[in-house]
Structure 1
Amino acid sequence: MKTKKIFKLPIALFLFLYFLYLLVSSAPAAWAAWAAHKAVPSLWLNNVEGTLWSGRAKLAQIDMGAESLALGELRWELSPWTLLIAKPCMKFETLLPNQQISGSFCQSVFGQSTLSDFNADLPVENLSSILPVQALGPISLQVLEASFDGDARIESLDARLSWQQARVHNGDKWMSLGSFAAKAKADEQGGVQADVFDLDGPYKSALVARWSAGQAWVVDGTITPQEGADELVVQGLQLLGEDLGDGSYRVQWP
């Protein structure tokens, strides 16, 4: 009798997993769109097709304050086995000319969300609707790992950002700034702290940028103009920054 029960257990488990597979593989993609918006309220998926397991949204966008960022077509693949640990995970990618975004997102039934292997490459002009000035140059964001609690507070973060061949328009002409990078981590208060530094160009920079939910970015640090620095930028630093006497200026914003 005990032997029969032992054999029945794996059979029952197999049947349960097979039922789960059938359920996930046949569930409509609209379920995934609903779940994605529930987990990330600023994300909108339209014209969805496929299944919960593997589908696509022909039009996707994410709200960024009063403006939004177009993502183009978004495709995803859900790992059905992650449902067994109550933490469904999906791999995703977006398709838009000159813009590539991909990564893996997991949502726990207990409210915690995690993002990993995230990569975004796009021209900074794609963000023109949320930038205070016109800007040019490719940007690249890599999130190795990030986790958020049920209130979207950042619990952990390991990210890298770069802006190559940065240029901004001052209303009269384009100014070349060089290339910059940043390393970001969680600040243990639910926000972000990023160390910003120059890679090349006429502005040696050592800045710390901080952000928390509901607050604007706060920036503090030093900028040292080098040979080739634009005269208007130097004048701006002299006007708005604190001259440290060694050619550097301390800047604070706001």
Structure 2
Amino acid sequence: MLYVVFGLVFYLLFLIIEMPASWFAWGLNRYTQGTVRLDPIAGSLWSGSGKLVIYYPPTTPHDFGQAEWGINPFWLLTGRVQLSLQTSNQDRKIKTMLGIAGNSFRLEDTETEFPAAFVAQLYTPLSLMSPQGKVRISAESLTLASGKVDGVAALEWLNAGSSLSSVQPLGDYRLDITGAEKNANLKLTTLRGDLEFTGQGQWQPQTGQVQINGTALPRARAGELESLLSMLGPDQGGGKRALNINTRLPPVYSSN
């Protein structure tokens, strides 16, 4: 009888180890409500590869190319999923270690990179300015749990440009994100360029609300930048304009 029990245990372990990659693709599709999909796929639940496509808005596919993932099964014993994900697309890159436990998300060693035009596809109000350049997001450790933000991350807009300005590029910009309990503090700085942006604000992951107040000031080529600056409001002296961003992004998690 004991041999039968051991045999069943080992057989169950074998089935778990050999779970196909389709289980991961199914779980990812269900967990993201169809926003993130993998097809075609190869490998197993624990280590596999497939073509990663993000649907946002739901009818618009964004191809991130071939992706490889790995899941550490030992973390499941603690009630947490530890997932590594990396894509090979040269224009749209994702490299992250993602921990999921209930309504808590933890990003570690994260580097993502994609064209600025892709951001406008995700957030349609930006399409009016036709953003150009490259967006890079990095995070050594950032935790988003229900009602709390902990850690730091950075968003960089490199070789930033817009169809509304003849000055190309405008510069390089950085938005530092620092967890502060329920909200995240934001700090906008200019790394280089003819147009300087500075500002501070907050992001509320639970509601998606983003607010940044600051200034825009031409460092050079003020005449060529005037048409773009005039959209921000009246000149406050020396070419300086008030920069006020108040918008709402999709919430990271609900309050339920």
The code of the aligned residue for 1:77 comes to G
User: What is the root-mean-square deviation of aligned Cα atoms in Å?
Assistant: 3.2
Structure 1: any 5+ residue segments left out of the alignment? 1-14
Per the TM alignment, residue 96 of structure 1 is displaced from its structure 2 partner at its CA by: 1.7
Measure the CA separation in 1 of the matches of 2:231 and 2:79: 56
Measure the CA separation in 1 of the matches of 2:234 and 2:73: 57
Q: 3-state DSSP class of the match of 1:117?
A: strand
Decide which moves more: 221-230 or 177-186: 221-230
1:91-130 equivalences under 5 Å are 91-108=84-101, 110-130=102-122
Match of 2:171 in 1: 178
Match of 2:145 in 1: 149
Per the TM alignment, residue 154 of structure 1 is displaced from its structure 2 partner at its CA by: 5.5
* Structure 1 residues 13-64: Cα deviation after superposition (integer angstroms, max 9, x where no partner): xx99977863442012122123334444432223233211111222421535
Match of 1:198 in 2: 190
The code of the aligned residue for 1:61 comes to I
Measure the CA separation in 1 of the matches of 2:237 and 2:179: 33
Greater RCO (Cα-Cα under 8 Å, separation 6 or more): 2
Match of 1:245 among 230, 237, 251: 237
Change (3 A) 1:113 1:229: same
Match of 1:167 in 2: 161
The percent identity for this pair of structures is 20
- The size of the alignment, in residue pairs, is 235
1:72-83 equivalences under 5 Å are 72-83=65-76
Q: 3-state DSSP class of the match of 2:74?
A: helix
Measure the CA separation in 2 of the matches of 1:132 and 1:22: 54
Change (3 A) 1:98 1:238: closer
**Higher Cα Rg, which structure:** 1
Decide which moves more: 178-187 or 241-250: 241-250
Match of 1:135 in 2: 131
Measure the CA separation in 1 of the matches of 2:140 and 2:97: 10
CA contact (8 A) 2:36 2:52 kept: no
Match of 2:4 in 1: none
Measure the CA separation in 1 of the matches of 2:128 and 2:231: 19
Residue 218 (1) aligns with residue 211 (2): yes
Residue 29 (1) aligns with residue 24 (2): no
CA contact (8 A) 1:68 1:129 kept: no
Q: 3-state DSSP class of the match of 2:220?
A: coil
Change (3 A) 1:186 1:65: farther
Structure 2: any 5+ residue segments left out of the alignment? 1-6, 247-256
Match of 2:77 in 1: 84
Give TM-score scaled by structure 2 length. 0.76
Measure the CA separation in 2 of the matches of 1:28 and 1:100: 25
